[in-house]
């Protein structure tokens, strides 16, 4: 199967716009034009203090009633066509890639989760640390998170070291959802992303940087499963919508309440191998991610690892995938089906019973 994957994936990436959009390139080194784009957009549109953020970014909102409001396209904004469905051989939940000749490269990925009934915050210190290390990363953003944190989202979109993927509108458990519900979680996130990209282009154009802003990808092509939960229906629906599903083979924060950041970082490093995809979070919910990342970044480079976005990693070899997603061992995420109500879209709060229904699926 590996030779077939090696043949199919570059063709699909090219046809779907990964190469033309800058989401993936044959080499991991940044091209001069991309570096200039980063300096232009980030340095002109925001001050250093605005990029750095404040402690207020990391405040998590209280659990309340579910927010049933949904985004609509702003005047003059349209959705770009979704990419073509990937070949059948590429429709699983990708846990890692097998790079040619054992090339030591890994992708650090961050989820930006937010459910319907709270605001999850933004760990600005993580993004500052990535920029200090000039480290590439992929962020899988929930649509509601994009709406709650528009300035942070715009800054991530404008930085070509970073790549954005879809993480569902309100963190819906796709393993429990119908095809219509899955499509709603995808489409609402796509609408929010399109509105933000249009705002980025508007600001950049006012500063004479329209060409740089237009390099920001029009569409989201990668998907991260909330809770890592999948089903045959979910994987088929995502493929039909043109998504490649990116999971992970290294959980960097598992059981963080039981271990120190040092122990968690050492455990993650022990599991990293060429082509690994590392799971972390950049919302404010996990408490030790910043300290874990402080140890991971220098340790990976000391071991000779390059860092790539998930899109770049896919160019380097055939992916290894599964049909039933999980964190570390198969079945370890099934417990979340009962813990998070509303098919995963609600944060539980024993002191506050729910009185409204979650957002209904699009018709």
Per-residue pLDDT tens digits for 138-175: 999 999 999 999 999 999 999 999 999 999 999 999 99
Greatest Cα pair distance in the chain: 56
* pLDDT-above-70 percentage for the chain: 86
Question: Please, which residues have CB within 8 angstroms of residue 184's CB and are 6 or more apart in sequence?
Answer: 169, 359, 360, 361, 362
Q: How far apart are CA 204 and CA 158, in angstroms?
A: 10
The token duo for 192 is 């929010």
pLDDT at position 31 over 70: no
The token duo for 317 is 């070899």
Summarize pLDDT for 322-359 with one digit per residue, the tens. Answer: 999 999 999 999 999 999 999 999 999 877 655 444 44
Q: Which of 258, 298, 297 is nearest to 278 (CA)?
A: 297
Distances, alpha carbon 13 to alpha carbons 5, 180, 215, in Å: 12, 26, 17
In 34-118, DSSP assigns E strands to 93-97, 105-112
Is residue 340 helix, strand or coil? Answer: coil
Q: How far apart are CA 277 and CA 106, in angstroms?
A: 6
Residue-range domains of the chain with CATH? 2-52+84-339 (3.20.20.370)
Q: Which of 146, 144, 127 is nearest to 135 (CA)?
A: 127
Q: Which of 320, 49, 25, 325 is nearest to 163 (CA)?
A: 25
Q: How far apart are CA 201 and CA 313, in angstroms?
A: 28
Question: Please, which residues have CB within 8 angstroms of residue 192's CB and are 6 or more apart in sequence?
Answer: 71, 143, 144, 146, 147, 169
The token duo for 142 is 């929930």
* 90 phi/psi in degrees, rounded to 5: -115, 20
Summarize pLDDT for 214-241 with one digit per residue, the tens. Answer: 999 999 999 999 999 999 999 999 999 9
pLDDT band at 13 (very low <50, low <70, confident <90, very high): low
């Amino acid at each position: 199967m590996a030779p077939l994957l090696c043949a199919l994936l570059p063709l699909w990436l090219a046809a779907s716009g990964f190469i033309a959009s800058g989401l993936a390139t044959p080499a991991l080194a940044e091209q001069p034009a991309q570096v200039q784009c980063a300096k232009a957009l980030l340095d002109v549109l925001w001050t250093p203090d605005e990029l750095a953020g404040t402690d207020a970014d990391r405040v998590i909102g209280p659990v309340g009633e579910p927010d049933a409001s949904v985004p609509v396209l702003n005047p003059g904004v349209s959705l770009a066509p979704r990419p073509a469905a990937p070949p059948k051989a590429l429709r699983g939940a990708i846990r890692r890639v097998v790079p040619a000749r054992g090339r030591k490269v890994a992708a650090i990925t961050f989820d930006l989760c937010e459910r319907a009934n709270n605001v999850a915050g933004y760990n600005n210190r993580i993004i500052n640390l990535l920029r200090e290390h000039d480290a590439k990363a992929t962020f899988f953003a929930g649509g509601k998170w994009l709406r709650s944190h528009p300035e942070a989202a715009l800054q991530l979109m404008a930085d070509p070291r970073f790549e954005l993927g879809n993480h569902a509108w309100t963190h819906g458990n796709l393993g429990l959802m119908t095809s219509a519900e899955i499509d709603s979680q995808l489409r609402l996130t796509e609408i929010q992303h399109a509105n933000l990209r249009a705002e980025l282009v508007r600001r950049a154009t006012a500063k004479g940087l329209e060409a740089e802003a237009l390099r920001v990808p029009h569409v989201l092509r990668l998907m991260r499963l909330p809770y890592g939960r999948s089903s045959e229906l979910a994987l088929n629906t995502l493929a039909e919508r043109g998504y490649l599903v990116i999971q992970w083979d290294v959980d960097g924060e598992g059981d963080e309440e039981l271990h120190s950041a040092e122990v968690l970082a050492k455990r993650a490093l022990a599991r990293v191998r060429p082509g690994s995809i590392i799971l972390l979070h950049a919302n404010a919910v996990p408490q030790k991610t910043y300290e874990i990342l402080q140890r991971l970044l220098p340790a990976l480079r000391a071991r000779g690892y390059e860092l790539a976005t998930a899109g770049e990693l896919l160019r380097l070899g055939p992916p290894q995938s599964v049909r039933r997603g999980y964190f570390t061992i198969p079945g370890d995420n099934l417990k979340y089906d009962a813990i998070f109500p509303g098919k995963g879209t609600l944060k539980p709060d024993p002191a506050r019973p729910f009185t409204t229904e979650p957002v209904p699926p699009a018709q």
